[in-house]
Amino acid sequence: MYGLGLFKGLAVTLKNAVTPGRMFTTHQYPNRRISVFELAKASSTNVISYAAKNPAKAVRSAIGLEWVPDRWPQHPRFRGEEFTWYEQRCTGCASCAKYCPLGIIRIVTDPSGRFVQEGEKYAIEVFDIDIGRCMFCGLCVEACPYDALHMGSGFEEGRYTRSGLVIDVNRLRTQPKRPSNWFRPQLEAKDYNPHSGKEATYVDVGRHEKPSEQKQEVKWAKRL
């Protein structure tokens, strides 16, 4: 019948409004309102004794003023905002800067290092990533031949200025290293989860062991 679809639609939305299970598809990041029942359950008592013990908190939670932090971890393969970089693995080849479609990675190297990795090592002076313009395509991570650059795992990078969104080399060196598993099958093979709180060392993130300096010298000597 003509116009029946309109009323079917009304039925759908009314069902959304009154069915309890359908109400809360919203995830209340970063805080979630906690009910008095949940509070009592958390302190392993019943509601009445909980309310007798700390009445102020019970009243506050009953009128919806009690909040608990509620942040769900992202998937281990989530492409986060703070890039994770391992200086021990980086040779300063600047592949990441060349592959970046937006040209937001800036690298300045100093040819003073020795061949630590397989190839000559440059000392990194500047390594800026402007994540304010980044679209998180991950081509820099794909391009890195030595698994030195990884996507991060966090996403709370709100800043008041654009300049605050530039990740410089000092921050890359000092920040906790929780690389995303994205494009890094070796991390997935080791069941590494960046949201577990564990940091990954430069040994964990590589596809192969770092050859010793002696071994490298032998190799270079043979080639020569």
Partner 1 sequence: MSFRNLYDIADRFLPESLDWMAYLVAGGILAFVVINAMVMSTAAYTLFERRLIGRFQSRLGPNRWGPFGMFQPFADIIKLILKEDIAPTVADKIVFTISPVVFLVPVLVAVSVLPLGDGSFLGTLNVALVFIIAVTGMHIIGVFMAGWASRNKYALFGAMRGVAMLVSYEVPMAMSLVAVVLLSGTMSTLGIVQGQHLPYILVMPLGFFVFFTATLAEMSRAPFDMIEAESELGSGYNTEYSGMKFALFQLAEFMAPLANGAIVTVLFLGGTKGPIISGPWWFVLKVVAFAFVIVWTRSTWPRLRVDQIMTFSWKGLFPLSMINLALVTVEYFVLQDAVGALTLGDQAIMALINIPVTFVAIYVIGNLSGQKRDRTVPVPSPLARMAAEAD
Write out the residues near partner 1 by the rule CB under 8 A.
1-3, 6, 9-10, 12-14, 16-17, 22-26, 28, 33, 63-65
Our CB check for partner 1 shows the closer of 64 and 103 to be 64
Query: CB of residue 71 vs partner 1: minimum separation in angstroms?
Result: 16
Query: CB of residue 12 vs partner 1: minimum separation in angstroms?
Result: 7
Query: CB of residue 16 vs partner 1: minimum separation in angstroms?
Result: 5
Distance from C-alpha of 54 to C-alpha of 42, rounded to nearest angstrom: 14
Query: CB of residue 14 vs partner 1: minimum separation in angstroms?
Result: 7
Our CB check for partner 1 shows the closer of 11 and 221 to be 11
Evaluate whether 205 touches 187 at the Cβ level (below 8 Å). yes
Query: CB of residue 55 vs partner 1: minimum separation in angstroms?
Result: 17
Our CB check for partner 1 shows the closer of 15 and 219 to be 15
Our CB check for partner 1 shows the closer of 16 and 49 to be 16
Our CB check for partner 1 shows the closer of 17 and 221 to be 17
Letter for the amino acid at 213?
E
